Structure 1
Amino acid sequence: MQTRQSGFTLIELLVVITLIAIASSVVTLAMRDPAATRLEQEAARLTALLESARAEARASGLQGRWEPRGSTADAPGFRFLGFPDTTPRPTNWLNEGVSAEIVGARAVVLGPEPMIGAQRIVLRLDAQRLVLATDGLGPFVVAGDEAAP
């Protein structure tokens, strides 16, 4: 009588190990950079804040502006100017290390005119960057990471 041995062959083990290696490499490549995710969150929040302030400036006839305070530790964040103090507005980024630069200007004009002129804001966090832009008539949108002039 012959006894039959049970178990896996070397080829079966190699196939399983190869499949696990391929799956783990795909997952590793699919994982997002946390800085990019945080920067996209800041960009979405800033576009909502800018559009809200823009609508308020148009409705109330105020000369509203937004400007970043700077990227230094003593003056982080941003501020809205020309709006009444009755409505508190955010003045800080959600994540530390975020900085903003307005391309070709010191402040973003938000109203009171419906057409405000094309404007671009470059957001940075670590090595990541995103550009928020408007053509002046449409809303602010995330335009990607285009190179700023």
Structure 2
Amino acid sequence: MEPTAHVSKTALPGVGTRYDLTTEAGRHLSVVVHQDGRRILSFHDPEDDDACKDATALSPHEATALSELLTPDPVAHLRQHLEIDLVTEHIPVGRRSPYVGRTLGATQARTRTGASIVAVLRRTDAFPSPSPAFRFALGDTLVVVGTREGVDAVAELIAGG
């Protein structure tokens, strides 16, 4: 089991919240998240919590970019060995579609195109992972994932082409 880092949280009344982390190398990092959204990243002396060695302010977009850099990508190693160009598109079920009122299974979309209908959006509802018995309605939007060719084939199929 991989070791986990311990982060402590301290409320700073009138300011925001401070998060502290001591690294395995003994460095003390703090991030102060201000109530207005600003963030201050600082390094402290582990022997004297009040002795700040260095600090820098991060704008919201800088904090987001830094968090993305620091967050491990659990599938990065797979991408190095495998090139899959998947696309996701929203495909409307229009008036001319032969599948209005018919089931997902009737389309045989995955078998015919290799692409998958992974969700259906209907007005304010979403239906993730619809079953083959799911019945399409006029105005539905299909969320389709597959290769460019497969997704285009589903669009043509649903449009009635």
Same fold (TM > 0.5): no
* Relative contact order, higher structure (CA 8 A, sep 6+): 1
**Bigger share in helix:** 1
**Bigger share in strand:** 2
TM-score after normalising by structure 1: 0.21
